[in-house]
Structure 1
Amino acid sequence: MSEPRSLSERPRLDNLTLSRKEGFRQLALAPPRIQPDALTAADLAALGVAARAAYDRLRRDWLANLGPIRTPQLAALQEDLWDIVDSNVQDGDKPKGAIAVDAFPGLGKTTAVLHFAQKFHLREIGEEGEFTQAGHERWPVCRVGLTSNVGMKDFNRAILEFFAHPARFRGTSAQFLQRALDCVLDCETKVLIIDDLHFLRWSGRNGREVSNHFKYIANEFPVTLIFVGVELANRGLYSEADDGGDVTLAQTARRTTPLTMEPFAVNDDKRRREWRNLMLWLEKRIVLAEKFPGMLADELSDYLYARTTGHIGSLMTLVNRGCQRAIRTGTERLDEDLLNSVKIDAASEKARQQLEASLRARRWTSKTSTARSATTKAARG
């Protein structure tokens, strides 16, 4: 049996930051991870101490980085993103439409947008080259993450920080903004992602300042703005004057296309098939010695839905942590007993009791009618 592959064959991504261009490029250019070989319990026992440690490390890294998964929600969102970004090829004298990806936490909106951004980066570099005609580095995407109480000067400086502009440490907000425009023009940036936009306060005077700031960027920067956040509509992003909102926010609403992502649902067979396909996808990628066909899709489907309420972020966390414990304890499989000992986010745990009670009362199931029929036939022998 060959020795497990080394992690050194792939560049490490655990220490990168997407707030800087080098980190984003490293993520975009990194080759796909290679799934570790599936070993049986006997194969594991035959490994030496060093080989077993190396194999388990490979599995830990693989299981902690499953995805992104091309779920129906991710595919639909990315198709909309491609439509809007590719249609924004107007000349620079015309403002480009913006995008607001607005969804609750744990539904994968940031993952989906970043995955799109990586593909867009690769496409643009492939078509246009790594350098512009003027000899500057080409950076098709700029990504800025916001923190609480961030001001416009801090926001402008964050753009400069992404590009590693030498004058990012000193200057006024207006000077930072003009330097950011220079970076966008020199590097031919086409997409500006603003993550966690909900940290900004949109009401009152601050809302007008923020709206005016983004209107200036939309008018003067030849980029497609992609806002990512939670409850952006309720925070005033789309406020219209005739709906009681501030008139200065109306233009932002008219130029911004809202997109969203929904949790998985199991209220009809079509949606149950989508959930089952997700279970089957995960089964193929779980690397445990005692894994068996149907471990997730048949044995744990209802349990996993009840534990995570169909939120993919919670599901991936539970599966990842469960697999890590299964490796560490030597269980080498997932079942309810093991997963019950794994803790995940508070929101999922709060909703779990009600869903499990409904499941016990047989008010719902995540299994398709075909899967239920197969289970019934197997039970009857």
Structure 2
Amino acid sequence: MTTARGIEPFEGDDRQYSPTRLPGWLQEVTGPDRVQPEHLTRAQLADLSPRELLRHNDRRKVWHANIGPVRTPQLLALHEDLAEIVESHRHDGDKTKLAALVDAYPGIGKSTAVRDYGRRLYREQIALRGETTAEGHRRVPVIYITLSGNTQIRGLNAAICRFYRLPTTGDADTLAERAVDAVLTLKTTSIIIDDVHFLAGSQSNSARMANQLKYLSNVFPVTLIYVGVGVQRRGILREGFSREETLLAQFGRRTTPLTLLPFQVDDEAGRLQWRTLLKTIERQLLLADRHPGMLADDLSDYLYARSTGHFASLMALVNRGCLRAIRSGHERLDAELMDQVENDAAAEDARRELTAAIDAGLLTTRPASPVSRRRTA
């Protein structure tokens, strides 16, 4: 189809959806994997017409914004732990299933990692059991919801109903009953609840949170996977705030804490992991002057100092750097260009100390062994 001017429309590869709604979640878990656009040299870029160049650059921008999730050792270890918990839960309905809590610093990529696990689990279950249930309903093995600030018990139940496209009117008990019916009908086996720290606040609120999550584990025949920041520090898994508070202890006994760590370069193994990560990312960059070692050799220390080893901060920095390289015609990443790129406040706050340590020779991201470096190149 062409427009009145004879120009073929171009929608690009943007995929706008909300994974906290069933249609959006289905697009994430069942949609096709992105296909990497062609890598063009400067000469090939120069041969493109203005419109072709505009489209190619648009494809590159979308690609760079959606690189990942990279299957780092940290991500693989987390997936293995989650699989061990979820796959061991073949209990009958009269038995309570334990929960998992992925509790980590912001910017580590924990939400992306857990959603990636949910996507893989969803596809595995559909491949095993089929897209529809025996009663003819759509099978939805995994769902994903997020919480917002000051979420109360009713809000948590409403978020589950909203995902399933159910009415959100009524009190907390009414909403819970609707959600349970949907879980049973659509054969949901796991619920991912992100930003669960919004339920853990004051002493009384933490107790209410534990009470509600305990209720969910009793009523829903699913594995609950919580994702949050500082949840354990707020006391939700401890023995309670006083000797009389046993509710929090009960929740702690039913929950397995997991985490996702930032990249560390204090030892050779950590430095090799960091180099492997940069090489993996480097191969996916669609810049005309990309060259082997552009990230892993030329910018290794620089990127670690700018990201503090946090995956989300690193990917935001690389994505914005690629955008600037494309728009400016620089077509490569180097320190001069990257110095013009802004990053998140937390990473920038820690940058000076890490840069000073690297400049003083107290810290390096480079593997010591040339043999080891060749193996990861």
Counterparts of residues 138-177 of structure 1 (less than 5 Å): 138-165=139-166, 168-177=167-176
- Equivalent position SS for 2:283: helix
- CA distance change for structure 1 residues 107 and 7 in 2, over 3 Å: closer, same or farther? farther
Residue aligning to 1:282? 281
The separation in 2 between residues aligned to 1:174 and 1:242, in whole angstroms, is 27
Residue aligning to 2:305? 306
Residue aligning to 1:359? 358
8 Å contact kept, 2:367–2:373:
no
Residue aligning to 1:292? 291
- CA distance change for structure 1 residues 30 and 187 in 2, over 3 Å: closer, same or farther? same
Structure 2: where are the runs of 5+ without partners? 1-8
CA offset at residue 220 of structure 1?
1.7
- CA distance change for structure 1 residues 7 and 105 in 2, over 3 Å: closer, same or farther? farther
Counterparts of residues 27-38 of structure 1 (less than 5 Å): 27-38=28-39
Residue aligning to 1:87? 88
Residue aligning to 1:223? 222
Counterparts of residues 232-243 of structure 1 (less than 5 Å): 232-241=231-240
- CA distance change for structure 1 residues 374 and 275 in 2, over 3 Å: closer, same or farther? closer
- Cα deviation, 1:121-179, whole Å, max 9, x if unaligned, reads 111111111111112211111211100011111111111100011xx232111111111
- Equivalent position SS for 1:296: coil
- CA distance change for structure 1 residues 209 and 373 in 2, over 3 Å: closer, same or farther? closer
The separation in 2 between residues aligned to 1:219 and 1:178, in whole angstroms, is 13
Residue aligning to 2:261? 262
Counterparts of residues 103-114 of structure 1 (less than 5 Å): 103-114=104-115
The separation in 1 between residues aligned to 2:177 and 2:10, in whole angstroms, is 43
- Equivalent position SS for 1:228: strand
Q: Which amino acid aligns with 1:96?
A: K
CA offset at residue 351 of structure 1?
0.7
Identity level (%): 45
Residue aligning to 1:78? 79
- Cα deviation, 1:1-39, whole Å, max 9, x if unaligned, reads xxxxx97686x42x2001111101101111111111111
The separation in 2 between residues aligned to 1:373 and 1:207, in whole angstroms, is 48
Residue aligning to 1:134? 135
CA offset at residue 370 of structure 1?
2.8
Residue aligning to 1:3? none
8 Å contact kept, 1:264–1:275:
yes
- Equivalent position SS for 2:209: helix
8 Å contact kept, 1:267–1:364:
yes
8 Å contact kept, 1:303–1:336:
yes
- CA distance change for structure 1 residues 9 and 373 in 2, over 3 Å: closer, same or farther? closer
Residue aligning to 1:379? none
- Cα deviation, 1:220-270, whole Å, max 9, x if unaligned, reads 210001110001111122021597582111111001000001111111111
- CA distance change for structure 1 residues 374 and 237 in 2, over 3 Å: closer, same or farther? closer
The separation in 1 between residues aligned to 2:324 and 2:180, in whole angstroms, is 48
Residue aligning to 2:49? 48
The separation in 2 between residues aligned to 1:347 and 1:309, in whole angstroms, is 9
Residue aligning to 1:16? 17
> Runs ≥4 in structure 1, deviation > 6 angstroms?
372-375
- CA distance change for structure 1 residues 75 and 373 in 2, over 3 Å: closer, same or farther? closer
CA offset at residue 116 of structure 1?
0.3
- CA distance change for structure 1 residues 360 and 156 in 2, over 3 Å: closer, same or farther? same
CA offset at residue 373 of structure 1?
10
Give TM-score, length-normalised by structure 1. 0.92
Q: Which amino acid aligns with 2:109?
A: G
- Cα deviation, 1:269-328, whole Å, max 9, x if unaligned, reads 111000000110011001100111111111110111111111111000000000000000
8 Å contact kept, 1:202–1:236:
no
Give TM-score, length-normalised by structure 2. 0.93
Q: Which amino acid aligns with 2:41?
A: T
CA offset at residue 202 of structure 1?
4.6
The separation in 1 between residues aligned to 2:246 and 2:256, in whole angstroms, is 18
8 Å contact kept, 1:202–1:237:
no
Residue aligning to 2:335? 336
8 Å contact kept, 1:239–1:245:
no
The separation in 2 between residues aligned to 1:345 and 1:241, in whole angstroms, is 35
Q: Which amino acid aligns with 1:283?
A: E
The separation in 2 between residues aligned to 1:287 and 1:254, in whole angstroms, is 48
Q: Which amino acid aligns with 1:27?
A: E
The separation in 2 between residues aligned to 1:248 and 1:67, in whole angstroms, is 39
The separation in 1 between residues aligned to 2:289 and 2:243, in whole angstroms, is 60
